[in-house]
Amino acid sequence: MTSARRNPFNLPNILTYGRIAAVPVVVACLFWPKDDWVRWTALTIYIVAGITDFLDGYLARIWEQQSSMGRMLDPVADKLLVGSVLLMLVHTGDIHSYSVWAAIVILCREFLVSGLREFLAEVRVSVPVSRLAKWKTTAQLVALGFLIAGDAGDSLLPAGWTINIGLALLWLAAVLTLYTGFDYFRAGIRHILEEDEKAS
Q: Can you tell me the distance from the alpha carbon of 38 to that of 116, in angstroms, rounded to the nearest whole number?
A: 37
Contact 177, 105 (CB under 8 A): yes
Q: Can you tell me the distance from the alpha carbon of 83 to that of 174, in angstroms, rounded to the nearest whole number?
A: 14
Confidence check: pLDDT of 191 > 60: yes
Q: Does 183 or 176 have the greater pLDDT score?
A: 176
CA 58 to chain CA mean position, Å: 17
Give the pLDDT score at 1.
45
Give the pLDDT score at 146.
96
pLDDT in tens, 14-59: 888 889 999 999 999 999 888 899 999 999 999 999 888 777 776 7
CA 113 to chain CA mean position, Å: 12
Contact 100, 172 (CB under 8 A): no
User: Which range in 62-66, 112-116, 178-182 is most confidently predicted, on average pLDDT?
Assistant: 178-182
- Say which range, 10-24, 47-61, 116-130, 172-186, has the weakest mean pLDDT: 116-130
Is residue 9 classed as helix, strand or coil in its secondary structure?
Answer: coil
Contacts for 101 with CB less than 8 Å, ≥ 6 apart: 174
Each residue of 9-42: b (16+ CB within 10 Å) or e? Answer: ebebbebbbebbebbeebbebbeeeeeeebbbbb
Q: Among candidates 175, 181, 89, 173, which has minimal Cα distance to 137?
A: 173
Q: Does 148 or 51 have the greater pLDDT score?
A: 148
Give the pLDDT score at 37.
94
Mean pLDDT over each residue of the chain, to the nearest integer: 83
Each residue of 86-115: b (16+ CB within 10 Å) or e? Answer: bebbbebebbeeebeebbebbbebbebbee
Give the pLDDT score at 196.
62
pLDDT in tens, 72-119: 777 788 889 999 999 999 999 999 999 999 999 999 888 877 777 666
Confidence check: pLDDT of 179 > 90: no
Confidence check: pLDDT of 161 > 50: yes
Q: Among candidates 87, 95, 89, which has minimal Cα distance to 43?
A: 89
Confidence check: pLDDT of 2 > 60: no
| Type of residue numbered 6 | R
